[in-house]
Amino acid sequence: MIKVGIVGGTGYTGVELLRILADHPQADVRCITSRSEAGVRVADMYPNLRGHYELAFSEPDNRELAACDLVFFATPHGVAMEAVPELLAAGTRVVDLSADFRIRDLDVWARWYGMPHTSPEWAEKAVYGLPEVAREQVREARLVANPGCYPTAVQLGFLPLLENDLVDTSRLIADAKSGASGGGRQGKIPMLHGEVGESFKAYGASGHRHLPEIRQGLTDAAGSAVGVTFVPHLIPMVRGIEATLYAQLNNPSDFDRLQALFEERFRDEPFVDVMPFGSHPETRSVRGANLCRMALHRQEDSNMVIVSSVIDNLVKGAAGQAVQNMNIMFGLDERMGMASPALLP
């Protein structure tokens, strides 16, 4: 059994980790921390977990966490980079669901997150954990930076186009939408139901923190610098992301082979589903599942490729992908603990 600790268990990604790990046959959650809710039973805060956990939230204790085989950090940015080095020195492996280790250029990281990075040595060693790209590196990693939700949907949809040098990499567009849970479990007025319901808006259009992460991943896939426009939107639902991606083909005649190219690229990926050409993936078709569904489109004789990519922002965009990375790190079947289909309706 893998002895698991979770730091920051009271947010949506924390409870999603608990939900997934409750049915994982090789995971034993030993501790879950929260400074604000220390002493509160997990099942009292999250009634869906009644009968699955007897744990109570506890104050973070690095000695207790260091006794675990792996620790998930489901914390705001700036927390993991302070605590992770001590755990790694003790031999504990870490999957960080925050943004602390995702961006390699720490000057860029500091500019977007408003603070200096305090663990540059581990930022350099961290593996960016998009399994469909870095599976072998994840297998040997001590520290995995779990990708963000928007970056997961965007990168997976663009990957086959960039890896095969098929599109103009200076003009990539990602028009993405997320449910309100992407903003976290906090009492923010703009996220109240009365503010979100019956409304739809863009945000971060002048620049969003996920932009440098997306740009980094797409640059890696293309092998050279890319120009990407990323605009996120808030829609009145709880969970789910849809990213509509646009790229201009260098050679319009390549369009006829794109469907086969996408199917071949993801044929052996257990958590990517390439739908038939012209399909419209729905967020409800991946709700609760660690799955990215995507489909290709073309309008008339345009040389613009359109890719629709959907994920559950809390699962493939956060906790599910983190458990997928844990499975890889410990030599388990990637699907372990996540074999159930999505929830519908």
Domain count, the chain: 2
pLDDT at 188: 73
Does 305 share its domain with 214? yes
Could you read off the pLDDT tens digit of each residue along the chain, which spans 345 residues? 999 999 998 889 999 999 999 999 999 999 999 988 999 999 999 999 999 999 999 999 999 999 999 999 999 999 999 999 999 999 999 999 999 999 999 999 999 999 999 999 999 999 999 999 999 999 999 999 999 999 999 999 999 999 999 999 999 999 999 998 887 776 677 777 777 778 889 999 999 999 999 999 999 999 999 999 999 999 999 999 999 999 999 999 999 999 999 999 999 999 999 999 999 999 999 999 999 999 999 999 899 999 999 999 999 999 999 999 999 999 999 999 999 999 988
Query: Do residues 91 and 69 lie in contact, with contact meaning Cβ atoms separated by under 8 Å?
Result: no
Concerning whether 292 is annotated as a catalytic residue, the answer is: no
pTM of the model: 0.96
pLDDT at 345: 87
Residue 111 lies in a domain: yes
**Max CA separation in the chain (angstroms):** 63
Residue 91 lies in a domain: yes
Residue 135 lies in a domain: no
Query: Do residues 138 and 144 lie in contact, with contact meaning Cβ atoms separated by under 8 Å?
Result: yes
First to last CA, the chain: 34
Residue type (1 letter), 303: N
Does 110 share its domain with 167? no
Question: Which domain covers residue 258, as residue numbers?
Answer: 150-313
pLDDT at 187: 63
Does 109 share its domain with 218? no
Residue 177 lies in a domain: yes
- Residue 186 to residue 169: CA distance in whole angstroms: 37
Residue 59 lies in a domain: yes
Reduced 3-state DSSP string for 44-67:
HHCHHHCCCCCCECECCCHHHHHC
Domain closes at, from 91, 125, 159: 125
- Residue 327 to residue 304: CA distance in whole angstroms: 37
Does 200 share its domain with 270? yes
Does 99 share its domain with 247? no
CATH number for 277: 3.30.360.10
Strand order, beta sheet including 241-248:
201-202, 228-234, 172-178, 241-248, 304-311, 292-297, 272-274
Residue 172 lies in a domain: yes
Residue 216 lies in a domain: yes
Q: What are phi and psi of 257, to 5 degrees?
A: -105, 5
Does 94 share its domain with 201? no
pLDDT at 197: 79
Does 173 share its domain with 35? no
SS3 at position 123 = helix
- Residue 270 to residue 335: CA distance in whole angstroms: 7
